[in-house]
């Protein structure tokens, strides 16, 4: 009897519907990032980005490995913010890079063709540039001003997001985008609605930090956000 060859590691599907970005400093007192991320995934988070701006390389890799053990259990991709070297050391599914980070082609060379690589864009110039790469998705933001990232570019608001989506649809029609910046359960539906492009695909998802990370009930916070994202707003 011949034994089955061991199957390769499954490539995790890219579902951007509810994108959790972390920031350990915003956790409620007593919470751990591992348990918070696990609860949020149980509530419906579809992808996680580890964004820990103050960690040095070794503790960042360490935390990345611990969080990856959680995300892997649920088949949810884990990406690392800014640090392609940390993503490579953790062996997670990819990285998210911005305008000031490593350039996209170098990140792709390091992480390989199967990695998920996302790029942050804040305006049409950056979106045009990012859409000329083979990146997997765009993170558009901040859509609204947010205390979570005081040094962020000026907010682009739903109209700016709509213009970016319309531009992207002419250059890379199948490139999905998420928005980030003060998204919460009170504005998610109006945000999706007001950002919808005249031509091309609407937003593929919403990305949040504080709406889930600062919540004492991350599972409920996630399930509420996901169901609001998935259901049409009452006025549409």
Q: At what angle do helices 218-230 and 188-195 cross, to 10 degrees?
A: 30
Identify what 82 binds: Mg ion, ligand TZP, none; CB under 5 to 8 Å per kind. Answer: Mg ion
Q: Determine if residue 182 is left, alpha or beta; phi over 0 gives left, psi from -120 to 50 gives alpha, anything else beta.
A: left
d(CA 216, CA 29): 9
d(CA 221, CA 82): 26
**Contact with ligand TZP (CB under 6 A): which of 67, 188, 208, 225?**
208
* Contact status: 85 vs Mg ion (CB under 5 A): no
* Contact status: 182 vs ligand TZP (CB under 6 A): yes
Please list, residue by residue across 38-66, b when 16 or more beta carbons sit within 10 angstroms of its beta carbon and e when fewer do. bbbbebbbbbbbbbbeebeeeebbebbee
Identify what 152 binds: Mg ion, ligand TZP, none; CB under 5 to 8 Å per kind. Answer: ligand TZP
* Contact status: 145 vs Mg ion (CB under 5 A): no
* Contact status: 160 vs ligand TZP (CB under 6 A): no
Residue 152 token pair = 């962020």
* Contact status: 183 vs ligand TZP (CB under 6 A): yes
* Contact status: 180 vs ligand TZP (CB under 6 A): yes
* Contact status: 155 vs ligand TZP (CB under 6 A): no
Selected range binding ligand TZP among 35-43, 192-200, 206-214, 223-231, rule: CB under 6 A: 206-214
d(CA 126, CA 198): 21
Interaction site with ligand TZP (CB under 6 A):
21, 141-142, 146, 148-149, 152, 180-183, 208-211
């Amino acid at each position: 009897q011949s034994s089955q060859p061991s199957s390769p590691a499954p490539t995790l599907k890219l579902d951007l519907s509810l994108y959790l970005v972390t920031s350990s400093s915003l956790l409620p007192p007593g919470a751990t990032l591992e348990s918070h991320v696990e609860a949020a995934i149980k509530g419906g988070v579809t992808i996680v980005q580890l964004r820990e701006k103050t960690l040095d390389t070794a503790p960042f890799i360490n935390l990345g490995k611990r969080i990856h053990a959680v995300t892997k259990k649920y088949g949810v991709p884990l990406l690392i913010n800014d640090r392609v070297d940390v993503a490579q050391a953790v062996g997670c599914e990819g990285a998210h890079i911005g305008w000031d980070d490593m350039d996209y082609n170098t990140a792709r060379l390091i992480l390989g063709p199967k990695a998920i690589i996302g790029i942050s864009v804040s305006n049409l110039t950056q979106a045009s540039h990012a859409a000329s790469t083979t990146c997997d998705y765009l993170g558009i933001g901040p859509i609204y001003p947010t205390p979570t990232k005081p040094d962020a570019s000026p907010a682009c608001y739903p109209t700016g997001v709509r213009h970016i989506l319309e531009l992207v649809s002419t250059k890379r029609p199948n490139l999905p985008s998420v928005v980030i910046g003060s998204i919460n359960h009170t504005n998610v539906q109006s945000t999706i609605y007001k950002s919808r492009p005249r031509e091309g695909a609407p937003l593929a998802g919403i990305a949040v930090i504080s709406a889930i990370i600062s919540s004492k009930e991350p599972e409920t916070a996630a399930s509420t956000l996901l169901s609001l994202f998935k259901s049409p707003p009452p006025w549409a």
